[in-house]
Amino acid sequence: MTAATAGVGHRPPVRIVHLGLGAFHRAHQAWYTERTGDGWGIAAFTGRSPEAAEQLAAQDGLYTLVERAADGDRHQLITAVVEAHDGADLQTLSGLLASPDTAVVTLTITEAGYRLASDSHDDGAGPRLDGADPLVAGDVAALRAHGIGGVTTDGAGPENVDGTRVRTAAGRLVVGLAARRAAGAGPLAVVPCDNLPANDAAARAALLGTARLVDAELADWIEATVSFVGTSIDRITPRTTDADRSSVAAATGFADAVPVVTEPFSSWILAGDFPAGRPAWEHAGAVFVRDLEPFERRKLWLLNGAHSLLAYAGQLRGHATVAEALADPAVAGWVEDFWNAAERHLTAPELDVPAYRAALRERFANPRIAHHLAQIGNDGSLKLAARALPVYRAERDAGRDGAAALRPVAAWMDQMTAQVTAGIPIADPSADRIDTAVDTGRSGTGQTDTDQTAALLAVVDPALARDEQTVAAVAALRAGSRTTVRR
């Protein structure tokens, strides 16, 4: 505790459990919760590494939020996160979920965290858990071996389950929800806050899919009791740097090890039920709607789609940040083309796409936010499926070639090829498959650039990879972007 944090007195009780303690959660859901002043405390669990929890716990959960506008910084101490834990601590998670005080579970586990099958959209049946995924299979085996059913029937506690062996968010939540069921603590809402279309359906597929493989009765209980709330979330939050830590310490006197730097803009749109209540997030600017889909598409396509295009096309042209890439007229032109394609399918008047595009140009150009393209470029195989390919499909269904919407995919392929060739590691759950696919085009293999394009597309969308016209269109764009890069 320092002078800057000494004034923080009574902390609110835990009513929200969060999985995926990272910068975005702390800049977004925690900030909204703080702003309501409703006294809802958050217990946050890390995903993969416990470090963030250790650092935050050492500061009693307190941290500085820096709103970084083009003309200056605004600092705010956030007090809503009252507990920070290692995600492998299933005993604490189960204890919190078994409490009727806990009403909401929020998730920021990244697109990859849901472990969904990449061919989910082929049959239009919606997202589906990838039961063959090694992490999922490992969790299911661990939960079966430790008898998650025992948690619900004979009262054996979650201490029987080794948290380090249950690694997916869904696996961990299944353990926690078994404890809630055993305790008779009643319904709650699960609120995914990741950039996936229909993220409520994604969370439901992950959770119910895992539960079904472990304990059918528990799965039935979850289906009947847990509400899944869809969200569109938005706030550009780059990774915190050492320079950020120094500037926060200088401005506030708090040697904060884990401040968060974010843009002033923020948006949270939600649709769904909260059977055990929720903070009045609408008092903090969140918007509750009946039909989320138009808003979700506007955000995913225009912001995130452009981000991915900037990430790959920008890096190929030697840029490091979003603002730099957007200042390159060729890249900016591709972004406008992509937006024109998307805008044709965002027709609801309340979307006001021209204003949204104008705001995005300004947000992306914020000269004081260094949002690194390499960070956005991670997990491209999943991100492109959510942000770019839906625009392509909409264009194609309307009888157009959709080339502008394929450019992010073509640029991703060129960037992946460049990284594999240069030995730069690829951060993607399908990194091995990307590596193999890149090799498909190597000289001496007897295979062509088109074969390589099809192999890479199969990693993102297996059905589209079987469509010759699409593969040819992507291959043509790749040839184009390579020429540009060489110049």
Binding residues vs ligand CS2 (CB under 6 A): 195, 234-236, 303-304, 307, 375-376, 383
Which CB atom, from 14 or from 370, has the smaller least distance to ligand CS2?
370
* Cα–Cα distance, 202 to 275 (Å, whole number): 20
| Residue pair 377/426 in contact by the 8 Å Cβ criterion | no
Which CB atom, from 172 or from 307, has the smaller least distance to ligand CS2?
307
SS3 8: coil
Taking the complex as a whole, the smallest distance from the CB of residue 181 to ligand CS2 amounts, in Å, to 33
Closest by CA position to 126, among listed 191, 200, 189, 231: 200
* Cα–Cα distance, 442 to 455 (Å, whole number): 12
Taking the complex as a whole, the smallest distance from the CB of residue 304 to ligand CS2 amounts, in Å, to 4
| Residue pair 170/133 in contact by the 8 Å Cβ criterion | no
Taking the complex as a whole, the smallest distance from the CB of residue 416 to ligand CS2 amounts, in Å, to 16
> HSE-up of 417 (CA within 13 Å, CB side)?
24
Q: Of how many residues is the chain composed?
A: 487
Q: At what angle do helices 380-387 and 403-422 cross, to 10 degrees?
A: 180
Looking at the DSSP assignment, which residues form a beta bridge with residue 32?
A: none
Closest by CA position to 344, among listed 308, 298, 299, 305: 298
Taking the complex as a whole, the smallest distance from the CB of residue 63 to ligand CS2 amounts, in Å, to 19
Amino acid at 306: A
SS3 content of the chain, % helix, strand, coil (to 5): 55, 15, 35
Taking the complex as a whole, the smallest distance from the CB of residue 306 to ligand CS2 amounts, in Å, to 9
Query: Could you count the other beta carbons within 10 Å of the beta carbon of residue 25?
Result: 25
Which CB atom, from 108 or from 453, has the smaller least distance to ligand CS2?
108
Which CB atom, from 108 or from 118, has the smaller least distance to ligand CS2?
108
Taking the complex as a whole, the smallest distance from the CB of residue 235 to ligand CS2 amounts, in Å, to 5
Q: Which residue is nearest to ligand CS2 (CB)?
A: 307
Taking the complex as a whole, the smallest distance from the CB of residue 245 to ligand CS2 amounts, in Å, to 21
Which CB atom, from 36 or from 262, has the smaller least distance to ligand CS2?
262
| Residue pair 104/16 in contact by the 8 Å Cβ criterion | yes
Taking the complex as a whole, the smallest distance from the CB of residue 183 to ligand CS2 amounts, in Å, to 35
* Cα–Cα distance, 309 to 306 (Å, whole number): 5
Query: Could you count the other beta carbons within 10 Å of the beta carbon of residue 433?
Result: 16
Radius of gyration from C-alpha coordinates of the chain:
23
Q: Which two tokens stand for residue 172?
A: 């961990």
Which CB atom, from 236 or from 475, has the smaller least distance to ligand CS2?
236
Which CB atom, from 28 or from 172, has the smaller least distance to ligand CS2?
28
Which CB atom, from 130 or from 263, has the smaller least distance to ligand CS2?
263
